[in-house]
Amino acid sequence: MSVVKSLETHELKPGFGSEIARVDLARASDAELAEVVSEFHRVGAIVLRGQSLSPEQFRRFGQAFGELEGHTLNDFTLPDHPEIYVLSNRVEDGRPVGAHNDGIGWHTDLNYTAEPVMCTMLYAVTVPPEGSDTLIADQCAAYAALPGERQEELAKLKQIHSFEYLAGNRTEGRKVIPPEVLRANPDVIHPLVRTHPADRRKALWISSMTPGFVGWSTAESTPVIDELIEWVTQDRFVYRHKWQVGDVLVWDNRCSLHTGTLFDDTKYIREMHRMWVKGDRPY
Ligand SMILES: [Fe+2]
């Protein structure tokens, strides 16, 4: 246990992430929220358990981190809260109320945009008793653990990130993407080794499901991308979040990869509220 200013925090795993105890986000002061945000910038991911948040209260929490981002698809945003996107397998009057099986496979959110989202926050409304864990891989620890020579080689590479490629290659949650959405999300190029603006730590900002590295063919790139994803997602770099109702989990997309995991959706309901906070151009 450590105390950062007035916060009581526990590491999620050595050197990565914090569970923040005894903060009631529905009633937290602006000063308390500012401390939560600065802890987030320091550690890469934060968890606050036992929360009970209306959409307005969840939005206030999100706004403490910065300007909220809209969603690529707005099919499942809350009616009066377009900044909150619903992930769910619940069906109401024959219609799904949320996106189901989104985010399976290692990725960072909105990596295919020029300014990917800084962070993603999930609030657990309903969770199954087993399955559906969220895994977060610490890309800074993964980069730091590489030999210096390999770090230098990788720092020279840039990766092409493509919404069209991602949409065409995903296996779970695949859907038909309207042509105007494809036009609004042209391919972008980002450095493979990304600098965190808070303290200049370096992250191995690899993304799966991309066409490859600049100057390399997809066939040349794919085995290297696969190898790097395997490196970053070793158990020693990964935090596994087991959900409880009322959990709020926030991760920093500037220094982590994440993936959802499946659950028995014939037996259980899972429902999450998701928000995104705007980020900046990777460098
Ligand atoms: Fe995601």
Report CA(103)–ligand 1 centroid distance (Å): 5
Report CA(76)–ligand 1 centroid distance (Å): 15
- Asked, for residue 125, whether it belongs to a domain, the answer is yes
Are 251 and 139 within 8 A, CB to CB?
Answer: no
Tokens (6 digits) for 168 = 């065409």
Report CA(149)–ligand 1 centroid distance (Å): 31
- Asked, for residue 133, whether it belongs to a domain, the answer is yes
Alpha carbon 22 to its chain's center: 24
- Asked, for residue 166, whether it belongs to a domain, the answer is yes
Strand 81-88 with 45-48, pairing: unpaired
Report CA(238)–ligand 1 centroid distance (Å): 15
Total domains in the fold of the chain: 1
Lowest mean pLDDT among 51-65, 86-100, 175-189, 246-260: 175-189
pLDDT at 2 over 60: no
Q: What is the pLDDT of residue 3?
A: 46
Report CA(258)–ligand 1 centroid distance (Å): 6
Report CA(225)–ligand 1 centroid distance (Å): 18
Report CA(282)–ligand 1 centroid distance (Å): 17
- Asked, for residue 181, whether it belongs to a domain, the answer is yes
Domain extent at residue 115: 2-277
- Asked, for residue 89, whether it belongs to a domain, the answer is yes
Report CA(193)–ligand 1 centroid distance (Å): 20
Report the C-alpha gap between 174 and 102 in whole angstroms.
8
Report CA(5)–ligand 1 centroid distance (Å): 31
Q: Please name every residue paired with 48 in a beta bridge, in sequence order, or none if there are none.
A: 248
- Asked, for residue 128, whether it belongs to a domain, the answer is yes
Report CA(6)–ligand 1 centroid distance (Å): 31
pLDDT in tens, 131-185: 999 999 999 999 999 999 999 999 999 999 999 888 887 655 556 788 888 898 8
pTM equals 0.93
pLDDT at 1 over 90: no
Report CA(107)–ligand 1 centroid distance (Å): 6
Say which CATH number the domain at 269 has.
Answer: 3.60.130.10
Alpha carbon 276 to its chain's center: 9
Report CA(269)–ligand 1 centroid distance (Å): 19
Report CA(70)–ligand 1 centroid distance (Å): 14
Report CA(106)–ligand 1 centroid distance (Å): 8
In order of 143, 161, 209, the CA distances from 165 in angstroms are 26, 8, 7
Report CA(85)–ligand 1 centroid distance (Å): 12
pLDDT in tens, 4-40: 468 999 999 999 999 999 999 999 999 999 999 999 9
- Asked, for residue 283, whether it belongs to a domain, the answer is no
- Asked, for residue 282, whether it belongs to a domain, the answer is no
Report CA(277)–ligand 1 centroid distance (Å): 13
